[in-house]
């Protein structure tokens, strides 16, 4: 079975986000970038499937500027077999990402696509669902446990009321949550091996996909500063403030 994983280059989760002075977006110049944490979990799960013999090949795909080739190398160092880099300098929206991934999937014919449930830069949580709809495949979102039973995937996903178990027919699209696994650190030998693994470079035009943005950002601003809290003497005072000041009860 061939498994395809998508990875995205985002601002490292340890970095404090700064807004550009002109309010046009988030400052990315001279900022540490890394692989989206949810995508790391997706790569780890795909590599584990390969190590167990369930998957024969793991392909990682990134749709980003040229600099994101480093992100693909990180996935290859974790154990992916080869990469596909769709070079797109403009901002790529979730629907365009889904269409680009579909074009690659049509050519590569994987049986399973594993994606992070969302990217930490925009938190859209849209691409997996859109991709499954475009492909007409089964889908499992927010997956925290994954197992195989013949031609089916047994997926456990987190919902508001607890855990929901799904039985998905392959081919399928799965988006993963934080509790699925703990991504490994790439060893130095694997980092060196990753430099020799192939990365195919293509563009949206070559894939026949119109990736032009359909949305425009009007302005970006910092959220208002939170005011300090207060300490109440008793429950009656708390209820009074909630009712008369906060007006939430």
Beta bridge partners of 173: 113, 139
Q: What are the angstrom distances between the C-alpha of 139 and each of 165, 169, 222?
A: 12, 9, 35
- DSSP class of residue 134? H
Task: For residues 221-237, give the mean pLDDT.
Answer: 84
Q: What are the angstrom distances between the C-alpha of 206 and each of 34, 86, 199?
A: 27, 9, 16
Q: CA 211 to CA 99: how far, in whole Å? A: 8
CB count within 10 Å of CB 90 equals 11
Residue 67 has pLDDT above 80, yes or no: no
> Any idea which of 49-53, 66-70, 144-148, 149-153 has the lowest mean pLDDT?
66-70
Task: For residues 66-78, give the mean pLDDT.
Answer: 85
Looking at 37-91, list the stretches that DSSP marks H as alpha helix, in order from N- to C-terminal side: 37-51, 69-78
Whether the Cβ atoms of residue 141 and residue 157 lie closer than 8 Å to each other: yes
- Tokens found for residue 81: 């077999």
Q: CA 88 to CA 201: how far, in whole Å? A: 11
**183-207 pLDDT per residue, tens:** 998 889 889 988 899 999 999 989 9
Q: What are the angstrom distances between the C-alpha of 99 and each of 130, 131, 229, 246?
A: 8, 7, 47, 46
List the domains of the chain with CATH numbers. 2-219 (3.40.50.620)
State the chain's mean pLDDT as an integer: 88
pLDDT band at 168 (very low <50, low <70, confident <90, very high): very high
**84-135 pLDDT per residue, tens:** 999 887 778 899 999 999 999 999 999 999 999 988 888 888 999 999 999 9
Backbone angles phi, psi at 177, to 5 degrees: -110, 175
pLDDT band at 21 (very low <50, low <70, confident <90, very high): confident
- DSSP class of residue 66? G
> Any idea which of 87-91, 98-102, 149-153, 175-179 has the lowest mean pLDDT?
87-91
Positive or negative torsion for Cα 45, 48, 54, 59? positive
Instruction: Give residue 220's pLDDT.
Output: 82
- Tokens found for residue 91: 């901002």
């Amino acid at each position: 079975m061939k498994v395809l994983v998508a990875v995205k280059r985002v601002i490292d989760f340890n970095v404090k986000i700064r807004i550009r002075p002109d309010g046009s977006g988030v400052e990315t110049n001279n900022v540490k970038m890394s692989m989206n944490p949810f995508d790391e979990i997706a790569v780890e799960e795909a590599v584990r499937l390969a190590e167990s013999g369930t998957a024969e090949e793991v392909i990682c795909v990134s749709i980003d500027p040229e600099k994101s080739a480093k992100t693909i190398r990180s996935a290859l160092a974790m154990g992916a077999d080869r990469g596909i880099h769709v070079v797109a300098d403009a901002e790529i929206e979730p629907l365009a990402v889904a269409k680009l991934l579909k074009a690659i999937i049509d050519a590569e014919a994987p049986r399973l696509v594993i994606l992070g449930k969302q990217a930490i830069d925009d938190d859209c949580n849209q691409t997996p669902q859109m991709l499954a709809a475009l492909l007409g495949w089964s889908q499992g979102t927010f997956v925290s446990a994954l197992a195989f039973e013949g031609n089916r995937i047994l997926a456990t996903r987190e919902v508001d009321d607890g855990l929901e178990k799904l039985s998905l027919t392959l081919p399928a699209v799965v988006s993963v949550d934080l509790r699925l696994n703990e991504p490994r650190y790439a060893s130095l030998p694997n980092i060196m091996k990753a430099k020799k693994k192939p990365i195919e470079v293509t563009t949206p035009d070559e894939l026949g996909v119109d990736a032009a943005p359909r949305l425009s950002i009007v302005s970006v601003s910092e959220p208002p500063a939170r005011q300090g809290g207060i300490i109440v003497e008793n429950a009656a005072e708390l209820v009074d403030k909630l009712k008369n000041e906060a007006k939430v009860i």
